[in-house]
Chain A
Amino acid sequence: MTAAALPENNFFNAKKGIMSWLFTLDHKRIGLLYLYAILSFFLVGVVLGFLMRLELLNPGQDIMKPHTYNQVFTLHGVIMIFLFIIPSIPAIFGNFFLPLHLGTDDVAFPKLNLLSFWLYVLGALFALATLVFGDGPADTGWTFYAPYSVKTGTNVTMSVLAAFILGFSSILTGLNFIVTIHRLRTPGMGFNQMPLFAWSLYATSWIQLLATPVVGITLLMIIAERVFGIGLFDPSIGGDPILYQHLFWIYSHPAVYIMALPAMGLVSEIIPTFAQRTIFGYKAIAYSSMAIAFVGYFVWGHHMFTSGMSGTAGFIFSILTFFVAIPTSVKVFNWVATLYKGSINIEIPLLYMMAFIFNFLIGGLTGLANAALAADVHLHDTYFVVGHFHYVMFGGTGFAMFGALHYWFPKIWGRMYNKARANVAFALLFFGFNMLYFPMLILGIMGMPRRYYDYLPEFHGLNQIATVGSWILVSGLILMLANLLIGLKKGKIASANPWNGITLEWQTSSPPPLHNFDKLPELNEGGPYNYPDAKKA
């Protein structure tokens, strides 16, 4: 099966020169531009996180002063949330693979797509500019809670402006995907014939489109307050800090599903390929994405259980939050059931998906403890929450993204990475990740608040374990990226379909030609994952 050389017509050599990349309208190139940009920011975020863990190795000052630490965790949060995890899967893999999955040649609005990318770059530049202008990066935490964010002298306005611009990039990508999914499916492909990744992007896009404007408005309100002194959130000039929290979380909670749903889509995509059988419960998985997106709009109040919220509001927000667990657990059960009576190839991408399920289970289940009013009073704003959301965001979405990178690597670049090295990197990442974040859950139950530069002696041991975990995690990350980079240049030429995948992207050559398909792709009979070689149930 192994071809001797890359296909002559592929999107890499279709056009030449730097301008052909910077102003490309090809969804695949835009996806790759996002990949390089987003991964670069991810690495910056990793370095900041690594420095935080070093500072927390021992109580007292290790390597930086409190003010610097506060700026570092703020910048870590802003970069990881706005520049990495929100755009990550939709902007990279959504852009690259959605049109391929739908059997079409591009997204609905290629120019808008390019604009989204450049807005992303502009927003990122603003975020970076906070480093060099004025009194340095914001020290407010990525949540920019008022009134501290109104009072501090650091560069809050510019950070907020960055988030505002990035929001537009996100809105436009969402809009583009919704129209693409509605209008550009290949002839014969109904909604229930779409790959589940497309379904998850569809649910995500609606959140991007409808929730992001709220944070845009909120961020403008902060600027109005800081620059013009209009009392909106700061009580000393007549505002209400709780109003800010509501507005912030009305966006930022649904945003959690912008981060998680596409990852779930990847899992639904990758497990059937390596089980060589159809997905268990296609409709349950597809519709549960929509259910999560929908319920996700109404649960923001669970970030504010200790803010002085009324009992009635607490009751409603708590029970609604618990309801998110139901469609989520439906997905997990269906994924595991998809392994049943499969003919499983245990390959790197599948291992990442298994790690996703394990980490995501811990992330989701610890979320239940935060959803329960009584338990949350104790756990709110402690390291338990830090552990919880890193399990969801990094252990879940991050691992899904790494898995997808290994899964689609041969499709994007037409080459294969070294699998032995990839295995070692995976093991380091999985072990290091859990060693880093599991102790945080215990620290939280013991009562260590988050955003703490210094801590009481009883928290020392677990903090040390976490910091050592961060070293293992980072070495795994370096090995994984180095292995992929080497594979990019020197990897063996891969066949068009090395995993025996069945969705449409595997019908075209690797790397795909500029217009994706030389001939109209053939729809798979009986559903997108109905493997023809497998037995009928």
Chain B
Amino acid sequence: MNASNFVEGVDFSLYLILGISIFFLVGITTVMIYFLFRYRKKNNPVATNIEGSHTLEIIWTVVPTLLVLVMFWYGWTGYQPMLKAPKNAIEIEAIGQMWKWTFVYPDGKVSDSLVIPVNEPVKLNLSSKDVLHALYIPAFRVKQDVVPGGDNMMWFTGQLTGRYDILCAEYCGQLHSYMMTTVNVVERDAYDTWLVTEPDLADEHPGFTLLKKNACNSCHTFDGTRLVGPSFKGIVGRSETVIVDGETKEIIADREYIIHSMKKPNDAIVESYQPNLMISYENIITDEEMNLIVDYLETIK
């Protein structure tokens, strides 16, 4: 049994081609080296001008043609089932953004890792909040680009319980290689339990939960180190030089400035940081939640 329903088709296509390739690589290299020594000047002082052979040209055109058709065919038959998801598949929204994956379940449950029941087809509707990403599960042999404005999907059936890596395969900027999470394939009843269990957030500040949920910490650290955006540490009340309409301006990063920056991030970019990288959260986070975030930010000095 393989980790997913596509492993067999993909691996057959791959190993068939690798097998044929190794045969030709070894064969041609051997013949080449043999000729090199058999017909070196010492062994064969006078060369023969052989201009060619129609028979051989036909053979080594027809044989590769047949072989590539076979290779093509198994590539196609392994790929074709990926194009259409079964009707009974569980539909999950998979959202990519710099540099975080978010999964939204049919009943509204939101998770930053994927949990799926074993032996049931799952369909991921892929969307991106910013640039291209690609959702790649090497163990499942599936990969699909996540295109902003597009409506790509992928589907698969996890056939073995266990936890597998989900990686981003399409370059998406600074922390591309850290944009990873896992898919946990579990028994149906464990899945049902997981679906209704809310993560224990009792000790967590709601503002902190919101920051994590929206991947803010991908670009803004809590400990003062510089990433793509200014660190959250001590941000409230900090004086900053920002760029407004091309002019530098001194401001104090108060509640009003921070909330405005969540809504219209490019209006006043802190000097030395780049514009256009942050998306607007105006329609994603409510005003009430934004205030909760600033409440939390006030606590990290």
Q: Which A residues fall within an 8 A CB radius of B?
A: 66-67, 70, 135, 139-141, 145, 147-148, 150-154, 235-236, 240-242, 275-278, 280-284, 305-308, 311, 314-315, 318-319, 322-323, 325-326, 329-330, 332-334, 336-337, 339-346, 354, 357-358, 361-362, 365-366, 368-369, 371-382, 445-447, 449-456, 527, 530-531, 533-537
Contacts and interface: CB of A to CB of B under 8 A. Distances in A.
Contacts of A330: 57, 60-61, 64
Given A306-B145, A308-B147, A357-B28, 14 more contacts: A135-B274, A240-B149, A241-B149, A308-B152, A322-B69, A330-B61, A343-B46, A344-B39, A368-B68, A374-B6, A374-B74, A374-B78, A381-B143, A535-B46
Contacts of B150: 235, 241-242, 308
B172 A242 contact: no
A377 B170 CA distance: 13
9 contacts: A147-B131, A235-B149, A311-B79, A330-B60, A344-B41, A372-B72, A373-B80, A374-B78, A447-B167
Contacts of B24: 361, 365
Interface stretch (B132-140, B189-197, B203-211, B248-256): B132-140
Contact of A152 (B29, B52, B65, B173): B173
B276 interface: yes
B68 A326 contact: yes
Contact of B143 (A278, A306, A315, A446): A306
B14 interface: yes
B50 interface: yes
Interface centre among B9, B79, B173, by most chain A C-beta atoms within 10 angstroms, is B79
Contact of B36 (A154, A339, A341, A372): A339
Contacts of A140: 171
Contacts of B165: 447, 456
Interface of B: 6, 9-10, 12-14, 17-18, 20-21, 24-25, 28-29, 31-33, 35-36, 39-41, 44-53, 56-57, 60-61, 64-65, 68-69, 71-72, 74-80, 82-83, 130-132, 134, 136, 138-139, 141-145, 147-152, 165, 167-178, 274-277
Contacts of A454: 177-178
Contact of B48 (A135, A456, A537): A537
B17 A368 contact: yes
B198 to A, nearest CB: 30
Contact of B41 (A343, A371, A455): A343
B50 A340 contact: yes
A326 B65 contact: yes
Contacts of A278: 49-51
Nearest to A340: B35
B47 A535 contact: yes
Nearest to A135: B274
Contact of B57 (A284, A342, A380): A284
B256 to A, nearest CB: 25
A421 to B, nearest CB: 22
B56 A333 contact: yes
Contacts of A147: 130-132, 148
A368 B83 contact: no
Contacts of B49: 277-278, 530-531, 534-537
Contacts of B47: 275-277, 341-343, 531, 533-535
B66 to A, nearest CB: 10
Contacts of A308: 144-145, 147, 150-152
Contacts of B20: 365, 368
B70 to A, nearest CB: 10
Interface centre among A308, A337, A372, by most chain B C-beta atoms within 10 angstroms, is A372
Nearest to B172: A148
Nearest to A236: B148
A319 to B, nearest CB: 5
A286 to B, nearest CB: 11
Given A449-B136, A537-B50, A375 B10 contact: yes
A280 B17 contact: no
Contacts of B178: 454
A360 B181 CA distance: 37
B275 A357 contact: no
Contacts of A329: 60, 64
A245 to B, nearest CB: 9
A200 to B, nearest CB: 18
Contacts of B78: 372-375
The 3 closest A-B pairs by CB, nearest first: A447-B138, A374-B78, A372-B75
B25 A361 contact: yes
Given A153-B275, A377-B10, A342 B44 contact: yes
B75 A374 contact: yes
Interface centre among A329, A346, A531, by most chain B C-beta atoms within 10 angstroms, is A329
A285 to B, nearest CB: 9
Contacts of B10: 374-375, 377-378
A454 B175 CA distance: 9
Contacts of B61: 326, 330
Nearest to B18: A369
Nearest to A150: B276
Contact of A358 (B29, B131, B151): B29
B71 A447 contact: no
B52 A282 contact: yes
A308 B144 CA distance: 7
Given A276-B47, A278-B50, A306 B39 contact: no
Interface centre among A284, A362, A368, A450, by most chain B C-beta atoms within 10 angstroms, is A368
Nearest to B81: A374
A342 B83 CA distance: 52
B169 A380 contact: yes
A350 to B, nearest CB: 8
Nearest to B35: A339
A357 B32 contact: yes
A305 B169 CA distance: 13
